[in-house]
Chain A
Amino acid sequence: MTLKIKNPGLATSIQDLGRIGFFHLGIPLGGAMDRYALRAANMLVGNDEGAACLEAVFMGPEIEFTQTATVAVTGALLPIKVDGEYQEAWTSFVVKAGQTLSFDFLQSGARIYIAVSGGITTPEALGSRSTYPIGALGGVEGRAIQAGDELPTGGSQGLGAGRTVSEPLRRKPGTPASLRVLPGLYWHRLTDEAGAGFFEDEWKVAPEADRMGYRFKGGRPLEFVDREQPFGAGADPSNIVDGCYSYGSIQVPGGTEPIVLHRDAVSGGGYFTLGAVISADMDLIGQLQPHTSVKFEKVDMAQALEARKERKGMLARIREELG
Chain B
Amino acid sequence: MAQVLSPLPGTFYMKPSPEAALYKNPGDPVAIGDTIGLIEVMKTFIEVKAEFAGTFSAYRAEDGLPVTAGQALAEVVV
Binding site for B on A (CB under 8 A): 10-11, 57-59, 104-107, 207-210, 289-291
Contacts and interface: CB of A to CB of B under 8 A. Distances in A.
A104 B7 CA distance: 9
Interface string B9-51: 1110000000000000000000000000000111110100000
B46 A10 contact: yes
Contacts of B41: 10, 58, 207, 290
Interface string B59-77: 0000000101110000000
With most chain B CB atoms within 10 A of its CB, the pick from A57, A105, A208 is A105
Contact of B42 (A104, A106, A107, A208): A208
A154 B22 CA distance: 49
Interface residues of B, number: 16
27 contacts: A10-B8, A10-B41, A10-B42, A11-B42, A11-B44, A58-B7, A59-B7, A59-B69, A105-B7, A106-B8, A106-B9, A106-B68, A106-B70, A107-B69, A107-B70, A207-B40, A207-B42, A208-B42, A208-B43, A209-B42, A210-B42, A210-B43, A289-B9, A289-B68, A290-B9, A290-B41, A290-B66
A105 B5 contact: yes
A58 B43 contact: no
Given A105-B69, A106-B70, A59 B42 contact: no
Contacts, number: 49
Contacts of A105: 5, 7, 69-70
Contacts of B42: 10-11, 57, 207-210
Contacts of B43: 208, 210
A52 B53 CA distance: 40
Contacts of B11: 207, 290
A288 B44 CA distance: 17
B8 A59 contact: yes
Nearest to B65: A291
A58 B68 CA distance: 10
B69 A58 contact: yes
A83 to B, nearest CB: 20
B44 to A, nearest CB: 8
Contacts of B66: 207, 290-291
Contacts of A57: 42
A215 to B, nearest CB: 10
The 4 nearest A-B residue pairs measured at CB: A105-B70, A106-B69, A58-B8, A210-B42
Nearest to A59: B8
B67 to A, nearest CB: 9
A72 B9 CA distance: 24
A208 B10 CA distance: 9
Contacts of A104: 70
Contacts of A290: 9-11, 41, 66
Contacts of B69: 58-59, 105-107
A208 B41 CA distance: 6
A108 B7 CA distance: 13
A259 to B, nearest CB: 13
A104 B68 CA distance: 13
Contacts of A11: 42, 44
Given A57-B42, A105-B69, A290-B41, A207 B7 contact: no
